[in-house]
Chain A
């Protein structure tokens, strides 16, 4: 594994302290592995030269430079888009759960990485953290200083409160008049039918929606080995559970929930991605790029 790529591993990334560095490392690690450049667009403004790399289109080779230096260089342009993107980061209590890294930590790195990628692409990016309501919000902007603010908010996000995605979406709907891309990073532990209803209402307003459903592996397979006192991170209730007794039933019901989300969101033309906290970040970033590609 190359140095740049190793930061796609959530566990490795978690050892780093600064969020901006984390975001940069993730994105750059991700970019270096792409065969085709993701930067496409019309209104291009020259930014820099870059050595030709396999995967780049030959037509983009600057032959004048080649004539002078006998080396292949391609011109890089800063893409100018009118994409407005909101990253909605769920910081509810349930996001605090995680075996090695918590769902919130994973979500935070993912959010930062996405923000970094968007900023780097000159897209307008804003962020909102929420639990039962919107906790903090920064409207989308292309300014680099905005990225710093975004990182501050992400960094500040700590797990608390209950998940109420629907409530948050209704609040956000009133604040976002222009259509754009809404990236929701959440464990979706709310009433599924209400969540679907809220997302659909957003979709009706011509917003594009990408949902990253963050799941911890233990949450998925309930692979606890012995009886324990389970503590609810949202409402703080407690319950003694013998995992072996309910595992099968739990797994079945959880899969049904995922299936429900997948099916309902597909029907509503909402992109949905289940992301385990052990999943490397490139998968999430790929999903994002695919989505962005369709929008531009």
Chain B
């Protein structure tokens, strides 16, 4: 048994007070001479016996009452379950300092729980304290040997919230596993998000000595995704921001989602069933390039604000081999809006330095030389480089050989009339934006190459003919985007499709999602929302808008941290993790309430005794 407030034990000395008072009053009692007690003795003999017993009983009860009150104030803890007091062990404490722990007073609760936990161990026990995530300016793992309880407590006090997440798997190599004097125990103190336990080390599962001290958390609703529906691809007048909100709670949620960008404010009300998500679309003027989406009425703050920003991707240099007539206009559709691409057009690769370009477009050329083929293959071996091939009327052997890892061009088909797109994989990033838009309907294709696809076909023409086949760094389109082959050049889908084909082939994304904990190497010096400047090698610490010389970047908390999903009890069981609700555990063990109730009972008993005549 331990006492959380042992100072109150001094009060136990006060149990002597009733005895002293009793003796004092007995001494001070008036002596009254009375004619005879014979009569009283005779008539009240039994009664006096009872009164005397009652007097002693009341005295004893009063002593017990005082003792119980002070014992209760001393908060005795009796442990019979998870850890008995004076437990001797070598303990690895994994303290969760991920961003989600910053919710409410969770972090302080976790620290208090950890300290309570230490109180259960013998002072001879040894500890190794590890924070789940590295914090700015401090090593995440600063423990390579065992320390005593006092040092472990100090280390717990020094841990700060890390603004990102981590996993036990990542931490595992740093565990002090050898030279343990006592039986090993692993204790994770945290909110227990699923991702923390991702790829949970098997070694920890086997021994069944891994405990999770559960830190309670509030209800959980979160913005899981905010995606810009390609500001370039869709109409130039406006663009759509798609917001996905998930209800992680157990009850139906009804509330407002507010989008705010400068003076532009829009609200939408929605209902979300438990464990479901809902997508809300906000149409924004093109001029708005950043703003925030607010989710009110939720207790979990990190994911209640999403900072979105749209801006053009970094300029990509493109080399067009073949005609650039229509394709060039698709790359830079307006004079007013400077497109994200710059391009050069050549008849053949020849002596062109491909390394200057991000993407090479083979636009309707019949053949390439062997030398060009080697150059292209070498080009593709580099990171973030791609070749986009629009097949013309003829496909030579070298060209066919080059695209062979993706597909093989067979006969050239001139359709009677036209064919249309028969099937499109809208899950693919190229077509994702077109889902529900209908812009891909009724695009006519008059001639195309039949393709023997070996890799991912993401679109098919009527007659089950592959239209676009993609592979890493290489995309093949069955026809050229020229008016005599297709009317797509006059359709809305033309520019977005070209853009997405380029970006996806070269593995470059319009999305520039930045999260807390990332390093913004490609942006140079950034100005943080707090006003300070972040150097490229520094990590982003807080969510908000960071600004460069030309641009504004939204930095958010990653979904895994923002949208808490606790490890389920079944999953924990499978991993042999014993879940400890320390608050409940302590409540059960906290004898204070029981002692107070007992004191009340004693008081009642005393009153009853005094009432009996």
Q: Which residues of A contact B (CB under 8 A)?
A: 93-97, 103, 163, 187, 189, 216, 219, 224, 226-235, 237-242, 245-246, 249-250, 253-254, 257
Contacts and interface: CB of A to CB of B under 8 A. Distances in A.
A224 B32 contact: yes
A228 B31 contact: yes
B38 A232 contact: yes
A189 B36 contact: yes
11 contacts: A93-B36, A189-B36, A189-B38, A228-B30, A228-B31, A229-B32, A230-B34, A235-B36, A240-B29, A245-B613, A253-B43
B47 A249 contact: yes
A97 B38 CA distance: 14
A232 B37 contact: yes
A254 B31 contact: no
Contacts of B48: 239, 241
What 7 pairs between A and B have smallest CB-CB spacing? A94-B35, A97-B35, A232-B37, A228-B30, A228-B32, A229-B29, A230-B34
Contacts of A246: 40, 44, 47
Interface-central residue, A94, A242, A250, A254, by most chain B CB under 10 Å: A94
Contact of A249 (B29, B33, B41, B43): B43
A18 to B, nearest CB: 27
A163 B33 CA distance: 16
Contacts of B25: 227
B33 A96 contact: yes
B51 interface: yes
Contacts of B33: 96-97, 230-231, 233
Contacts of A257: 39
A186 to B, nearest CB: 11
A216 B34 CA distance: 10
A239 B29 contact: no
A242 B51 CA distance: 9
Contacts of A231: 31-34
Given A230-B34, A245-B613, 15 more contacts: A93-B36, A94-B36, A189-B35, A189-B39, A228-B32, A230-B32, A230-B37, A231-B34, A232-B37, A233-B34, A237-B37, A238-B31, A240-B26, A250-B43, A257-B39
A239 B32 CA distance: 10
A239 B45 CA distance: 11
A216 B37 contact: no
Nearest to A243: B32
Nearest to B27: A229
Most chain B C-beta atoms within 10 Å of own C-beta, residue among A96, A216, A234, A241 = A241
Nearest to B55: A240
Contacts of B47: 246, 249
Given A189-B36, A234-B36, A245-B613, A239 B41 contact: yes
B368 to A, nearest CB: 119
Given A239-B41, A246-B47, A229 B30 contact: yes
B227 to A, nearest CB: 86
Given A239-B40, A249-B43, A250-B40, A103 B35 contact: yes
Nearest to A239: B37
Given A249-B44, A250-B43, A235 B38 contact: yes
A278 B51 CA distance: 33
Contacts of B36: 93-94, 163, 189, 232-235
Most buried by A among B34, B35, B40: B35
Contacts of B29: 227-229, 240
Nearest to B48: A239
Nearest to A95: B35
Nearest to B26: A240
B34 A97 contact: yes
Nearest to A233: B33
A238 B41 CA distance: 11
A286 B611 CA distance: 47
B51 A232 contact: no
A238 B30 CA distance: 12
Interface in B32-88: 32-41, 43-44, 47-48, 51
Contacts of A245: 51, 613
Contacts of A240: 26, 29
A257 B42 CA distance: 13
Contacts of B35: 94-97, 103, 187, 189, 216, 219, 233-234
A219 B43 CA distance: 15
Contacts of B34: 97, 219, 230-233
Contacts of A250: 40, 43-44
Nearest to A244: B613
- Most chain B beta carbons < 10 A, residue from A189, A232, A234: A232
A7 B38 CA distance: 34
Interface string B489-504: 0000000000000000
Nearest to B37: A232
Nearest to B52: A240
Contacts of A241: 40, 48
A147 to B, nearest CB: 30
Interface in B365-386: none
A103 B33 CA distance: 13
Contacts of A254: 39
Contacts of B44: 246, 249-250
A240 B22 CA distance: 12
A238 B29 CA distance: 12
Nearest to A191: B38
Interface string B7-41: 00000000000000000011001111111111111
